[in-house]
Structure 1
Amino acid sequence: MAASRTMADAYRNKEEGSFGVLNFRDLGVSSAENPDNKKYIKEGLVFRSATLDNMSEEQVDAFLEVHKIKTILDLRTGMEGREGLPIDKSFPTSALEGLTPSVIMTDEKETKAEPHTSEKYETTGHGTLIRKKYKVDFAGKNFQRYCVFGSCSLRLKIYLIYLMACCQRRKAAYVVGQQVLSPMGVNKMYREFATYCQGEILAAMMVFANPENYPIEVHCTQGKDRTGIVSALIMTIAGVPQDIIVNDYTKTQKGLAPVYDAMLEEVRKSGLSEDFAQAPASNMRDFLNFLADKYGSVEGYLDVIGFGPDLRDRVRKIICV
């Protein structure tokens, strides 16, 4: 046991967050950072970060030993990340089909079934631990069709179709970044996510409705935009005030500081403007205000996408102090 603690201590890097994982934090800790030190979310249940792809096998082992994570929610597109990495060996991808409101809200005794064959079983002193990963393409087909493609001129549409037909997906992504997303800006992109990615956002939220999934780690590439939106929705469900949610979002600026120059270069190579590498408070504050203005409240938005009061109550019972 002492040897394990030594290994964990050796791989923890406070500059990078935890074991080489950038922009890593516990929403329970973030939710308690207020003048009254009031706690809203239990610590050790919901974590957020940038990609987990850069960890070695030893770092993965130490990371899991300390944080006890059972489920990873990966919000990246198919073009992001690589396969066969050390983190994948501990978290095989599981099917999303069972994560629907009707299934989750049905009595567990009636829906109990054999676990998905890709899940990772590990026998511990406390029994059998099941680890799994859910992948949700946050910027999925609806976002691409109605937001991206719908914003293009006829000429640009034809050009993008040509690039895709020639299997030049990365070139097409650069053109979209330069001519669609950059003019749109981060603030509007968040609003478009909320409008056109409702099915994907619901799928992501359903992961939090199952108590067997906790502790959960949610990430995208930088842990800023898609992860920031999902984290904000979870914190809102837990009753965390907007100022604290916004403060958690702005921590990304410091969380990505060790790789900021490289990230900025990557942003430019993607055809995106420099503000896509920033995380000012206005991004999150404007997003939450947009949901309040258009849907009456964040909860009103969650009602619209299908994550209603009963599901939100399930999450609160699990994560709230």
Structure 2
Amino acid sequence: MVERVVTLEGASNVRDLGGLTTTDGRHTRYGLLYRSDSPSELTENDVRALVEARGLRHIVDLRSLEEVERDGPGPLQRAGLTYANHWMSSDPGVGQVVPEIMRGNLSGHYLGYLGSGSERVVAAARLLADPDNHPALVHCAAGKDRTGTLVAILLDAVGVRREEIVADYALTDANMEAVFARVVRRLEAAGGPVPTMTQDLPNEARRARAETMVEFLDQLTTVFGGGTGWLLAHDFPDTELERFRSVFLTD
């Protein structure tokens, strides 16, 4: 059996998006799309495991411009992979804590990504859906919120069963302690104060609960008609979506 979880030395929340079942009984293919927390601390062994062993070609970075400037794009870009930054923010000020987070309303926060920054979400989705970019990796800082939102939209759009999208998101929960430790370490290494965001977030915002993704998918369906509806309504070509399905799903 192919393992979905990818164990690396310098990242704590990496997995292959293959092996998920669609509503019509097909499966997502292994080795095409990966999701992760920040790859800024990847070791030489990690880079070899991803680039030489898995053939990784493209990176889609959802972090803010400030995060990229502070931590750098990471060793994968230095290894020559194609890199694109399409930052996702749930409010007008990139990196600011929005009220939904402080209330612990993560599903509302995730919907916020699909507002004023929708063109960047679509641009990132198109890169990930393009077979010419596979294998590709999408990441943010923790691999939970921004990455979780975009991954959920893409998986829903190709017909992955809701319970499997939810279960994939919830796998992050067990990794959050290690992920937050890495985030704090990078902030401290940058020489600045650790922002209140990492210290005073409500416990709910530090979790990747299945209920959060259930709520988000319900809202995505009610408001936009699901991942397919949202993508098509935001100028994601249907031909590209069909091409993605044909490549990403087994017959």
TM-score tier after normalising by the smaller chain length: 0.7 to 0.9
Query: 1:67–1:32: structure 2 CA closer, same or farther, 3 Å change rule?
Result: farther
Aligned length: 236
Which whole-Å CA distance do the structure 1 matches of 2:182 and 2:46 have between them? Answer: 22
**CA contact under 8 A between 2:37 and 2:144: conserved in structure 1?**
yes
Pick the aligned partner of 1:197 from 117, 128, 151. 117
Aligned-residue offset at 1:42: 0.7
Given residue 218 of structure 1, which amino acid in structure 2 is its aligned partner? V
Percent sequence identity over matched residues? 25
Which whole-Å CA distance do the structure 1 matches of 2:97 and 2:228 have between them? Answer: 31
For residue 113 of structure 2, give the secondary structure of its aligned residue in structure 1: helix
Aligned-residue offset at 1:132: 0.2
Pick the aligned partner of 2:51 from 64, 73, 87. 64
1:313 aligns with 2:233: no
Residue 298 of structure 1: aligned partner: 227
Aligned-residue offset at 1:17: 2.3
Length-normalised TM-score, structure 2: 0.82
**CA contact under 8 A between 2:5 and 2:16: conserved in structure 1?**
no
Given residue 35 of structure 2, which amino acid in structure 1 is its aligned partner? R
Deviates more, 1:177-186 or 1:208-217: 177-186
Query: 1:296–1:178: structure 2 CA closer, same or farther, 3 Å change rule?
Result: closer
Residue 187 of structure 2: aligned partner: none
Which whole-Å CA distance do the structure 1 matches of 2:38 and 2:200 have between them? Answer: 21
Given residue 51 of structure 2, which amino acid in structure 1 is its aligned partner? L
For residue 190 of structure 1, give the secondary structure of its aligned residue in structure 2: helix
Aligned-residue offset at 1:270: 6.0
Residue 20 of structure 1: aligned partner: 10
Which whole-Å CA distance do the structure 2 matches of 1:178 and 1:271 have between them? Answer: 13
Q: CA RMSD in A?
A: 3.0
Deviates more, 1:245-254 or 1:208-217: 208-217
Deviates more, 1:250-259 or 1:279-288: 250-259
**CA contact under 8 A between 1:51 and 1:222: conserved in structure 2?**
yes
1:228-267 correspondence runs (5 A): 228-260=148-180
For residue 35 of structure 2, give the secondary structure of its aligned residue in structure 1: strand
Aligned-residue offset at 1:257: 4.1
Given residue 51 of structure 1, which amino acid in structure 2 is its aligned partner? S
Aligned-residue offset at 1:144: 3.5
Pick the aligned partner of 2:209 from 248, 262, 280. 280
Given residue 137 of structure 1, which amino acid in structure 2 is its aligned partner? W
Which whole-Å CA distance do the structure 2 matches of 1:70 and 1:47 have between them? Answer: 11
**CA contact under 8 A between 1:75 and 1:226: conserved in structure 2?**
yes
For residue 84 of structure 2, give the secondary structure of its aligned residue in structure 1: strand
Q: Unpaired runs of 5+ in structure 1?
A: 1-13, 91-119, 121-130, 149-168
- Greater per-residue helix proportion: 1
Residue 47 of structure 1: aligned partner: 34
Deviations 1:107-129 (A, max 9, x none): xxxxxxxxxxxxx4xxxxxxxxx
Aligned-residue offset at 1:206: 1.0
For residue 137 of structure 2, give the secondary structure of its aligned residue in structure 1: strand
Residue 7 of structure 1: aligned partner: none
**CA contact under 8 A between 1:57 and 1:87: conserved in structure 2?**
no
Pick the aligned partner of 1:183 from 97, 103, 106. 103
**CA contact under 8 A between 1:72 and 1:134: conserved in structure 2?**
yes
Given residue 73 of structure 1, which amino acid in structure 2 is its aligned partner? V
Aligned-residue offset at 1:64: 1.5
Pick the aligned partner of 2:66 from 58, 69, 79. 79
1:214 aligns with 2:204: no
**CA contact under 8 A between 1:19 and 1:63: conserved in structure 2?**
no
Q: Unpaired runs of 5+ in structure 2?
A: 185-193
Give 1 or 2 for the bigger CA radius of gyration: 1
Aligned-residue offset at 1:78: 1.3
Deviates more, 1:218-227 or 1:188-197: 188-197
Aligned-residue offset at 1:282: 1.4
Aligned-residue offset at 1:16: 7.5
Which whole-Å CA distance do the structure 2 matches of 1:33 and 1:254 have between them? Answer: 25
Which whole-Å CA distance do the structure 2 matches of 1:32 and 1:316 have between them? Answer: 13
Pick the aligned partner of 2:87 from 114, 137, 146. 137
**CA contact under 8 A between 2:13 and 2:179: conserved in structure 1?**
no
Deviations 1:186-225 (A, max 9, x none): 1211121123321111111110242210001110000001
